[in-house]
């Protein structure tokens, strides 16, 4: 049995696919590529495929990661890339693959943070750079950023997301640009949309959601490790 790690970009309209839809897209493409897939056991077998971390709907991606198991090692990573890419729609671009030992932790178990880039969409006038930078400083100066969410059993719970925001910077590249390094993974995390919402609240002083269309969001990379010593998660190092 062989294990292959692969990286891919999500562009265009495909950024609006849900995680489950993206999984189904890959599963169908893998079957059409006639690869020697390993299937799960049980009533409804499916290819042993997993993606490192769900991509928020509406967010494009530069280097997402996935892994799957093949029945043997007769398919080289380069051949795997070629055969699978031929079956994928435009907007889903494979950009690397590597053979991995069948054992070891899964990609999903290693993810602990994610880096995002948010560029102003240009659909409305942008806030002044100084005003945006002041809002970033104001938000990061808060000792707590409390949110209300649904906990176990559907009960309302309160959480502090300030420890989940590792980095947040604002700049100008033809328009406002934000970069965020946020906690992610199975141990918990925060949505970049929620950070944008709280940033808008810090800027305007009014509660409420920041319309998603104001920003074009892209996930740049995934990371493993602890805050302060994060390493980018790649197929070479997974």
Query: How far is Cα 118 from Cα 71, in angstroms, rounded to an integer?
Result: 40
pLDDT of 208 over the 80 cut: no
Give residue 41's pLDDT band: very low, low, confident or very high (50, 70, 90).
confident
Query: How far is Cα 216 from Cα 209, in angstroms, rounded to an integer?
Result: 16
The whole-number pLDDT of residue 1 equals: 85
Helix (H) or strand (E) holding 222: strand 215-224
Share the mean pLDDT of the chain.
Answer: 91
- Report the predicted TM-score, pTM, of the whole model to 2 decimal places: 0.93
DSSP 200: H
Helix (H) or strand (E) holding 237: none
Q: Rounded to an integer, what is the distance from CA 196 to the centroid of its chain?
A: 16
Q: Which domains does the chain have, with CATH numbers?
A: 2-104 (3.30.70.580), 110-232 (3.30.70)
């Amino acid at each position: 049995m062989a294990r292959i790690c692969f990286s891919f970009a999500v562009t265009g309209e495909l950024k609006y696919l849900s995680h489950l839809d993206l999984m189904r897209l890959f599963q169908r493409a893998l079957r059409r590529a006639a690869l020697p897939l390993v299937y799960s056991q049980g009533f409804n077998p499916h290819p042993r495929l997993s993606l490192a971390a769900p991509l928020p709907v509406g967010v494009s991606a530069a280097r997402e990661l996935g892994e799957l198991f093949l029945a043997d090692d007769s398919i080289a990573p380069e051949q795997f890339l070629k055969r699978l890419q031929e079956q994928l729609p435009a907007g889903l671009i494979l950009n690397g693959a590597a053979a991995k030992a069948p054992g070891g932790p899964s990609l999903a178990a290693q993810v602990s943070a994610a880096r995002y880039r948010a560029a102003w969409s240009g659909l409305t006038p942008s806030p002044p750079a100084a005003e945006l930078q002041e809002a970033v400083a104001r938000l990061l100066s808060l000792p707590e950023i409390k949110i209300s969410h649904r906990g176990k059993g559907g009960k309302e719970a309160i959480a502090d997301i300030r420890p989940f925001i590792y980095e947040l910077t604002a700049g100008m590249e033809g328009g406002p640009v934000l970069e965020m390094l946020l906690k992610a993974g199975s141990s918990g995390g925060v949505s970049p949309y929620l950070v944008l919402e709280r940033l808008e609240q810090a800027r305007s002083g009014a509660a409420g959601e920041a319309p998603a269309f104001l920003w074009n969001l892209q996930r740049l990379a995934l990371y493993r490790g602890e805050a302060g010593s994060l390493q980018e998660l790649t197929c070479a190092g997974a």
